[in-house]
Each structure stands twice: as C-alpha cells, then as structure tokens.
Amino acid sequence: MPKMKTNRSAYKKFRVNAKGKFRHSRSNRSHNTAKRAPKRMRQLRGLEELTFTHVRAVKRMLPYACK
C-alpha cells in the first residue's frame, strides 16, 4: 500500500507538541500592524492550541504527525 501524502501547507502551519496537541500561530500579525495597540500585538505572540472542532481535519491533512 502506498504512503499517504502530507498536505504541505498544513505541515507548515501546524505543529504538534509533546502531548500530541496541535498548535498554530495567530493571525493578524503580518501587515498593517501600526494601527493595532501594543497590548494587542503582545497578545498575538506565540502559539495557540487548535480548537477541538478543527483537530479532525488537521489530523487528516497530517497523517504522520500524530501516532
């Protein structure tokens, strides 16, 4: 049986932590940031855990990420 293909765009956007949960970077950080408050920009730092409603779709796109 051939290997399943990994969705390359999903591979670049999501990471799996040690507990097996998916994390992603937050949106609204790339451009037009001068109009946003410094507090808002601080809060957008780092990675956020993926909501449970999207986990099934991401697991399908990344078949070898979660074992």
- pLDDT tens digit sequence for 22-37: 999 999 999 999 999 9
Band of the pLDDT at 1, cuts 50, 70, 90?
Answer: confident
3-state DSSP helix/strand/coil % of the chain, to nearest 5? 35, 15, 50
Topology annotation, domain 8-61: Factor Xa Inhibitor (4.10.410)
Token pair in block for residue 16: 């799996």
Average pLDDT over residues 58-63: 94
Helix (H, G, I), strand (E, B) or coil at 25: strand
Q: What length does the chain have?
A: 67
**What pLDDT band is residue 67 in, cutting at 50, 70 and 90?**
low
pLDDT score at 62 = 95
- In this predicted structure, the answer to whether residue 60 has a pLDDT above a threshold of 90 is yes
